Structure 1
Amino acid sequence: MRLAVDVADPAVADRIASVLADAEEVELVGKEDEPDALVVAPGAATELQASIALTARELEVLALLAEGASNKLIARRLGISAHTAKYHVASLLEKLDAVSRTDAVAHAARIGVLHL
């Protein structure tokens, strides 16, 4: 897994990087190198996060997409119609500039919108 650290405090970033450096199958890269995941400080918004305005409902749908939920299951879990679930998924794909549900989850994780 390619992992980047984006924490404002350099001391904390160094401590995180030193712990992760010893982890098997983890390659530390810069955030500009398209990592598989991005470690960010809680509550900190990256520039990419700020440029993608997701609603609270879209964030709920995104979390369910990360679990592999179908539109039917998303609808059932959130108490909405399957049509509305499909609408939210389409909106996420557009906002995240994704070509598939999996791509949307990967992109959201990469920019720090979704924490896996």
Structure 2
Amino acid sequence: MSEPPLVVALRIADPALAERLGALLSDVPGLRLAVPGEPADAALVAAGAPDPDAALTAREAEVLALVAEGASNKLIARRLGISVHTAKFHVGAVLEKLDAASRADAVAQAVRMGVLSL
């Protein structure tokens, strides 16, 4: 008895790229592309594409904008009327959601993803 095929979803905003990948993957034995809305065993996501599950909150977007200006946690706290601890927490959440290693990396990632424009 053969195994059921592995169902893979393509989460790629660029239609041309999605079509090319779909064509390449359509002939792979043991693999089937998911139709829109169908649960999948795995997903291919284009590099730099925002993860919908990791969307920034409105407050995190404000914090990111201040980080892009070079603001410290203390300045972020003062500007937003929050504690330094809360500012530090929000900066950490932004770094995590953007999979960034530093503040500068977070800004660069956000710009690449279209989350932030400078």
TM-score, with structure 1 as normaliser: 0.58
Q: CA, structure 1 residues 51+77, in 2 after alignment: closer, same or farther (shift >3 Å)? A: same
The CA deviation at 1:51 is 4.6
C-alpha displacement at 1:101, in angstroms? 0.5
Note the residue ranges of structure 2 that are not aligned, 5 or more in a row: 1-12, 16-45
**1:90 is the counterpart of 2:101:** no
One-letter identity of the residue aligned with 2:82: I
Aligned counterpart, 1:28: none
Aligned-residue sequence identity (percent) comes to 67
For 2:113, the equivalent position in structure 1 comes to: 111
CA distance in 2, matches of 1:7, 1:51: 19
Instruction: Give the aligned length.
Output: 76
Q: Does the 8 Å CA contact 1:96/1:107 hold for their aligned counterparts?
A: yes
Alpha-carbon distance, 1:115 to partner: 1.0
Q: Which runs of 5+ in 1 are unaligned?
A: 1-5, 9-31, 35-46
Name the one with the larger helix percent. 1
Q: Secondary structure at the match of 2:50?
A: helix
Aligned CA-pair RMSD = 2.3
Higher Rg of the two aligned structures: 2
Q: Contact 1:49 / 1:113 at 8 angstroms: preserved in 2?
A: no
Superposed CA offset, 1:75-113 (max 9, x none): 000000000000000001110000000000100010000
Name the CA shift for 1:81/1:33 in 2 (closer, same or farther; >3 Å).
closer
Moved over 6 A (4+): none
Letter in 2 for 1:98: A
Which amino acid letter does the alignment assign opposite residue 53 of structure 1? A
Deviation readout 1:41-93 (Å, 9 max, x if unpaired): xxxxxx42635311000000000000000000000000000000000000011
Alignment of 1:1-116 (within 5 A): 47-48=49-50, 50-116=52-118
